């Protein structure tokens, strides 16, 4: 008789987040459990600490219910289980169900686990291989290793895909240093908008239009004086622009 291969661990979900292709949305949902031992509930399941865990305290199946306030696109579930620490409390069979509410849940995935120690990635896709859209996800522990009664789960994360920009595709920010600068500094953005606003103004003369002339305050003025009338940006102070319609 051959021994089933152990369930291989998946990558740390933080690596997925760093690719910029998914976003964790568990905080947007309402979480509930079929049962739990005091001090081993939802808070421990969502605290980003692999040393803590949810422990059920009732009959099987043990349920984790994740309910969103609106229909939500979900791409992947990540579940952390640790057979080395939890032994007979470790799930061996898990069912994942989705639906609008408790009354119309349908199973979309069933997993058989063999002594898992690490992250388990559960893709949630429809028949067209697209991420599902749902109001509710239910994770049901149907059986544990060694016929254990109660179960342990250490972490659960829920991921939605990040939509591409409607303007076009841009390179992904995949390094920590790059991600620090992926957002436009607001002071630069507002200054740029001011320049566009001024340059787009026109002055009506007779039957035609002529561009408004712009001139900057004397740039040789002291920095503090220019800052009062202009502004302070990431590249230092910039002058205030004035219009001359003559």
CA angle 141, 24, 189 (to 5 degrees): 175
pLDDT digits (tens, 9 = 90+) for 2-40: 557 888 888 999 998 999 999 999 999 999 999 999 999
Element of type H or E holding 192: helix 186-200
> Tokens 């089933």 correspond to what residue?
4
- Per-residue confidence (pLDDT) for residue 218, from 0 to 100: 46
- Per-residue confidence (pLDDT) for residue 227, from 0 to 100: 43
- Tell me: pLDDT of 127 over 60: yes
Give the mean pLDDT of the chain. 79
- Per-residue confidence (pLDDT) for residue 171, from 0 to 100: 55
> Tokens 């799930």 correspond to what residue?
91
Asked: is 13-168 a CATH 2.60.120.260 domain? The reply is: yes
Nearest to 40 by CA among 23, 53, 25: 53
pLDDT digits (tens, 9 = 90+) for 168-219: 445 555 565 655 555 544 455 555 555 545 455 544 444 454 444 444 444 4
Give the domain ranges of the chain. Answer: 13-168, 186-244
Q: Classify the phi-psi angles of 192: left when phi > 0, otherwise alpha if psi is within -120 to 50, otherwise beta.
A: alpha
């Amino acid at each position: 008789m051959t021994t089933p291969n152990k369930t291989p661990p998946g990558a740390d979900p933080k690596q997925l987040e760093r690719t910029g292709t998914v976003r964790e949305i568990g905080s947007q949902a309402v979480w509930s459990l079929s049962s739990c031992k005091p001090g081993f509930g939802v808070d421990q399941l969502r605290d980003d600490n692999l040393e803590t865990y949810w422990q059920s305290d009732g009959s099987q199946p043990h349920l984790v219910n994740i309910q969103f306030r609106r229909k939500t696109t979900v791409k992947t579930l990540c579940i952390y289980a640790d057979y080395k620490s939890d032994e007979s409390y470790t799930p061996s069979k898990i069912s994942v169900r989705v639906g609008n509410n408790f009354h119309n849940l349908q199973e979309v995935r069933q997993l058989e686990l063999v002594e898992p120690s690490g992250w388990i990635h559960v893709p949630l896709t429809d028949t067209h291989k697209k991420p599902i859209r749902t109001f509710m996800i239910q994770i049901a522990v149907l059986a544990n290793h060694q016929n254990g009664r109660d179960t342990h789960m250490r972490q659960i994360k829920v991921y939605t895909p990040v939509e591409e920009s409607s303007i076009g595709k841009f390179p992904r920010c995949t390094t920590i240093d790059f991600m620090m600068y992926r957002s436009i500094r607001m002071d630069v953005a507002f200054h740029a908008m001011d320049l566009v606003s001024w340059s787009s103004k026109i002055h009506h003369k007779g039957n035609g239009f002529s561009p408004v002339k712009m001139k900057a305050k004397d740039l040789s003025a002291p920095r503090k004086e220019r800052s009062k009338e202009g502004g302070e940006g990431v590249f230092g102070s910039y002058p205030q622009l004035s219009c001359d319609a003559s």
